[in-house]
Amino acid sequence: MSKRLDVLIFGATGYTGQYVIEEMARKANQFGFKWGIAGRTANKLKQVLQEASNVTGIENLTSNVDTIVANVTNQQSLIDMCAHTKVLVNCVGPYRHYGEPVVQACLQARTHYIDICGEPQFLETIQLKYDSQAQEREITIVGSCGLDSLIADLGAETIRQECEQNNFEIALIESYLALNAPQATRGLIHFATWEAAVYGLHHANELKALRRKLFEQKLPYSKHKIERKSIFKTTIQGKSFWAVPFPGSDKSVVQRTQYFNYTKLNKKPIRFQPYFQMPSFISVVKLVFFGFIFSLFTKFKLGMQCLLKFPGLFSAGFVTKEGPTRTDCAQASFNMTFVTYTEDNQKLIHEFIGPDPGYIGTSKLSIGCAIMLLKENDRLPAQGGVFTPAEAFGRTSLMKYLEKEGFSFIRKTQSQQAFREYIIKKDFFSGFKAGEFSIYDQSSNTLLYRLESRYGITQTADLYAYPGKQMVASIRNLWSPFLYDAEIQVFDTIFNQWIFGRITQAFPNYTFRYNIQYANRRLIMEHRPFSLTTEIRNEQSSNYVLAQMKLSLSSIILPNKYDLQVYTNELPDVIYLLAVVAYDYDNGRNRRSVQNGK
């Protein structure tokens, strides 16, 4: 195998194949790979290499890159082609028509295989029929290494690994794909993708029997479910949009990964549901209308012929036989938002962002996978087999590689559902005391705690739990002319002892940031600028919100009133109650200083 090419691209003369060739040319220079291309006609292979040379500015591709003539109708030509390379990238679709002979040839020639297929029937059939052979021959076969469905699969796996490190148990992940493109001059989708979709939906009834054989074990998914209508409106990170179920292979591929994780790695499976973002209700109506016609026409032969003969008409102009222009692709981009729900009612938001996913992005994704097979083969889960992208590359540096290629995977924030909520009301008049508070449950009817201050120049107060009026905590301000500094103590009911801590203001004081030390834990309390909200976070994981307090608008006129939400059981709630008291006292002291200065 050492005399072979490193990578060979089959289907090089196709629309997507051209983009894959150009990306391979760039990476071959960077990594020193020896590579080639294959297709049905030698002259066309030279033409696409010349086009790649013109686009990339890399000279002499026509003379330096090997070309191999092969045809899917000639099995021996496929075997001879595969015998020339270590890794084959297959861009010839629809895969249900042309993919299986290529996989067979790779197995015969002991060549690793990658494709950019988004057809669930083909992907699942290949796993069912050839996984054992691939294991025996120590050959890696990885499908769906493009828009369908590496983005969803690798994103979900990255989130799973992150949550595993932070001891979060995932109940459900939803993905929302948005395609961002200006007014396309020649459509957004090439005909080959449309053709695969037509045949895929026509044969969708094959999937049920196929999956009964493929998934022999029933997975113990979480019982956590969110009841959604088929079409619904939602808001994420302040952005409202309509969502419809995503019809591609994402759910199928991610489900296969979950089956592998559970049966091979003993990991709890994650329920996954993909959606497609729609910017307006009008766009939803259009999608439903054309989707209904598409679905109806795929059920009979004449309808399929109409769909394939007039793709522009039945797709409202989104599909053309020429495909989008290079300018259209260069201006397009995508973002996939992942919403993760954990078993303890937390909600995590991640975003996968990148260039045009259909062609520029797919070329980068597929070549990135080929590089991982060559450079990090030892980090794959096994020496051979049929894998999803996340199974194969979830433990490699593929995500880091993609971040250098214009993609980014970002943890946006953590939106959580509160375990408990308190209403904290400050007394209207406290005399010469630092401030006293009554703390109620969410309904404001039941008194849970009472903070009572002592007379003095500085803040000294004790917190009592009701109805027994048992002292559970205290706070004592250490006089400081500039930065707030207070000692706290909390009664630990488990160990039956008092535990000491401290709340100090960070420098400079206009940042409204405080450090809280308690029982070897370091927390951060930070006020959001120009808002009524203050958050308490874990210092080591600053995205992890422990509690959040919000000052009521009525506090502008009446004494301060706070709404405190607690999102975790890690620490006693009285820690957060003392933090509210400290913030209120320091904020009031700052206001008095400003007034006196005036």
Three-class secondary structure of residue 257 per DSSP: helix
Pairing of strands 239-245, 271-278: antiparallel
Longest pairwise C-alpha distance within the chain: 95
Q: What is the pLDDT of residue 427?
A: 87
8 A C-beta contact, residue 201 and residue 295: yes
Q: What is the pLDDT of residue 238?
A: 65
**pLDDT tens across the length of the chain (598 residues):** 458 999 999 999 999 999 999 999 999 989 999 999 999 999 999 999 999 999 999 999 999 999 999 999 999 999 999 999 999 999 999 999 999 999 999 999 999 999 999 999 999 999 999 999 999 999 999 999 998 899 999 999 999 999 998 888 999 999 999 998 877 778 788 888 888 899 889 888 889 999 999 999 999 998 887 888 889 988 887 678 899 999 889 999 999 999 999 999 999 999 999 999 998 899 999 999 999 999 999 999 999 999 999 999 998 888 888 889 999 998 899 999 999 999 887 889 999 999 998 899 999 999 999 999 999 999 999 999 999 999 999 999 999 999 889 898 988 765 566 778 999 999 877 656 668 899 999 888 999 999 998 877 778 999 999 999 999 999 998 877 778 899 999 998 766 889 999 999 887 655 578 999 988 788 999 987 777 889 998 776 666 678 899 888 776 666 688 999 988 777 889 999 999 999 888 876 554 443 444 4
Q: What is the pLDDT of residue 187?
A: 78
**Cα dist from 332 to 115, 177, 325, whole Å:** 23, 14, 11
Q: Indicate the domain borders of the chain.
A: 5-142, 150-355+403-415, 420-597
Tell whether the torsion through CA atoms of 63, 362, 136 and 156 is positive or negative: positive
Secondary structure E strands in 479-598? 485-492, 497-505, 513-518, 521-527, 533-538, 541-551, 561-566
Correct CATH for 5-142 of 3.20.20.220, 3.60.20.30, 3.40.50.720, 3.30.30.60 = 3.40.50.720
Q: What is the pLDDT of residue 594?
A: 38
d(CA 587, CA 114): 60
Convert 481-501 to b/e letters by CB count within 10 Å (16 or more is b).
eeebbbebbbbeeeeeeebeb
Q: What is the pLDDT of residue 357?
A: 86
Cα-based angle 341, 152, 366 (whole degrees, multiple of 5):
160
Which architecture characterizes domain 150-355+403-415 according to CATH? 2-Layer Sandwich (3.30)
DSSP-derived secondary structure letter, 39:
E
Q: What is the pLDDT of residue 2?
A: 54
Q: What is the pLDDT of residue 424?
A: 94
Correct CATH for 420-597 of 3.90.1150.10, 3.90.25.10, 3.40.50.300, 3.20.90.10 = 3.20.90.10
d(CA 7, CA 28): 9
- The two structure tokens encoding residue 174: 């939803």
Three-class secondary structure of residue 144 per DSSP: coil
- The two structure tokens encoding residue 375: 């450079």
Secondary structure E strands in 83-231? 85-90, 112-115, 140-142, 170-180, 189-190
Q: What is the 3-state secondary structure (H, E, C) of 332-378?
A: CEEEEEEEEEECCCEEEEEEEEEECCCCHHHHHHHHHHHHHHHHCHH
